Amino acid sequence: MTKILVVEDDTDVRSSLIISFRMAGFETDEATDGDEAIRMIAEGRYDLVVTDVWMPKVDGIALLKHLAAHQADQKVIAISGGAPGRAPANFSVALAETYGADAVFHKPFDNDDLVDAVKDLLGLP
């Protein structure tokens, strides 16, 4: 079964993503920040990581940098609504793409579109 790690500090967004992925037949785990995600990735294999860009502690950009250095083949989709007062959404997208995200979605987005992108990225029907 395809296994996805959802890394998102917002409980409602994280729950919504997990429900959508499970309804699509994916196994999911969850992390609330990049630090927790790095530990989980070291302990197990994920077919794909979906990560928010801006989070407390270790953010999605630091997670992308870590993956590029230690697990360059890891598929990653970044999601971001920007960082109000710090960075506009287009800046977040550019950063995520620069540091290796395979795809980037702007919040708010349709979860079905994200599920379709996951299937495309993993070569699933």
pTM: 0.92
Domain tally, the chain: 1
**Predicted confidence band at 13 (pLDDT cuts at 50, 70, 90)?**
very high
**Domain with 90 in it:** 3-122
pLDDT of residue 28: 98
84 pLDDT above the threshold of 70: no
Which residue do the tokens 């990653």 mark?
76
Average pLDDT value for residue range 15-24 = 98
Q: What is the CATH number of the domain that holds 7?
A: 3.40.50.2300
Hey, what long-range contacts does 98-101 have (CB within 8 A, 24 or more apart)? 99/61, 99/64, 99/65, 99/68, 100/64, 100/67, 100/68, 100/72, 100/76, 101/64, 101/76, 101/77
